Amino acid sequence: MKSVKFLLAILALAVGVSVSAQEIDFSDEKYSEWGDTPEERKKQYEMFSDAKFSKWGETPEERKANYQIGTYLGEALTAKDYDLASRYFNHLYQNCPDASVNIYIRGVSLYKGRINNAKRERNLEAQRIYIDSLIFVYDQRVVHFGNAQKGRADILDSKARDMIKLLSSDKDRIRLRNILKDAVDAAIEKGKVELDIATRYFSMVCDDYSNDIDDTITSEVVLAEYERLAPYYDNLTEEKDKQQKDVFDSKFGTSGAASCENLEALFSVKLAADPDNDALLAQAVQLMSRAQCSSDFFFATTEKYYAVSPSSETALFLAQGFQNRGENDKALKYLREALAVETDPAKKEPLYAKIGLIEVTNQNYAAAAEAARELRGINPQNGYSYFILGQCYASNRCTDDKIGGVSVYWAAYDAMAQAVTLLKDEPEVQKAAQQLMAAYRGAFPAQETCFFAELKENERYTITCGFAAGQTTTIRYK
């Protein structure tokens, strides 16, 4: 029946001749399509003669026929008769593309339906054809209704969201990235950026640079896009938006484009223009710390930020930086300052760990052991406490143990074994702990040494001196 409607509507386009309603005898049966009575027919004819229907066709007859086809398109979509709906859509697009935005809204529904059917049928070729058609519909909506209230930016945003779901293969990657870029560009022009789309786009830019997927994505492109988009991630209050900012900054920081040299070039200009911008200082510190920068500019920037906004996080940034430069005293200064004012046990944890590691490097084992014990008190599952304590235990021998002071290696081995178990997420540190375990095991006393000291294998033993004093361990032979 709908096919008959379609054919009748098309036929009406061929027979209509525009004349004044006053000149027409609406009682003539040839005007029966316009209504049941001459009055109804005249009213309909005059309505479609109005200029507001001019985009539907040249004559009242064309306008009415095309308008009806718009209705039939909606009915065909409701019935999921996509073949008929395609004919209706194509006719409207070819004959009155500016008539109504609903033509394109329904066109989107049409091709989404066809894509879903093709997916169910596992027809990959049809899927790609219909995806191309869907993109075409969105692009034509931009052409014909890009200046509407829901105009170019909104249309391209919807297009981007659909394509994120549909263009998932590697060969579509660059195409999808360009679609996202169009959406972001239009949003910036409108003045309202959707952070999830911007983050998805920027993540693709960073990944394509990192993985050498596209030669056109250079470090300069990554830096330019970061600088262009970064202002839209400032002053966020919603938690979901803050999560987008974390991803945005993380992607940039790990892209490889965020080298110390590039970051210094970027932020030196920005901070020269706005030196007291705390948010900008924080951003610079975070990114340069992630890149493990050690320039004078980095330290000057980070110390300035710490002065106006002291925190355990910033202290760790500074400590890591000064440690990388071999300036352990400065690193410890900031760590202990932060520790003195920090009240959150979870934030004290990394401070104590860092202090312990630096003091071991300094061979200041008393301070290292103290930090490690504080760390263990906060979190007994923190493997760094045992990694530090094991080295402290092994640092000086217990001279009154009657076996040459090597009893401390039993306790050191035990501590390092715990470190290995707890440091599964820190493979490099875990490997170091395993190497130290082997060294400590190699320092265990010989069987005859223990025999003369009346120490039997596998019996319990308490260390009596040194940093391991009071630790109960197990007697083991070399």
For residue 368, is pLDDT > 70? yes
Q: Are 101 and 136 in contact (CB under 8 A)?
A: no
Rounded CA-CA distance 49/414 in Å is 95
Q: Determine contact, residues 415/390, Cβ cutoff 8 Å.
A: yes
Question: 3-class DSSP state for residue 473?
Answer: strand
CA distance 206 to 287: 15
Whether the Cβ atoms of residue 475 and residue 457 lie closer than 8 Å to each other: yes
Longest dimension (CA), the chain: 131
Residue 451 banded pLDDT, cuts 50, 70, 90: very high
**% of the chain surpassing 70 pLDDT:** 93
CB of 415 within 8 A of CB of 393?
Answer: yes
Q: What is the mean pLDDT of residues 224-238?
A: 90
Q: How many CB atoms lie within 10 A of CB 39?
A: 10
pLDDT in tens, 78-100: 999 999 999 999 999 999 999 99
Tens digit of pLDDT for each residue in 15-44? 444 455 556 656 656 666 776 687 777 777
Axis-axis angle for helices 102-120, 124-145 (nearest 10) = 170
Q: Which amino acid is at 21?
A: A
Token pair in block for residue 51: 């200029």
307-330 residue pLDDT tens: 888 888 888 878 888 888 889 999
DSSP code of residue 472? E
Highest mean pLDDT among 10-14, 288-292, 357-361: 357-361
Q: How many CB atoms lie within 10 A of CB 234?
A: 11
> Do residues 158 and 166 lie in contact, with contact meaning Cβ atoms separated by under 8 Å?
no
- To the nearest whole number, what is the mean pLDDT of the chain? 90
**The pTM is what?**
0.60
Rg (alpha carbons) of the chain, rounded to whole number: 37
Per-domain residue ranges of the chain: 193-258, 381-478
Q: Which two tokens stand for residue 136?
A: 């075409």
CA distances (Å), 455 to each of 285, 338, 414, 463, in order? 56, 46, 18, 13
What are the C-alpha distances in Å from 461 to residues 341, 465, 474?
A: 40, 12, 6
Gap between the Cα atoms of 219 and 265, Å rounded: 13
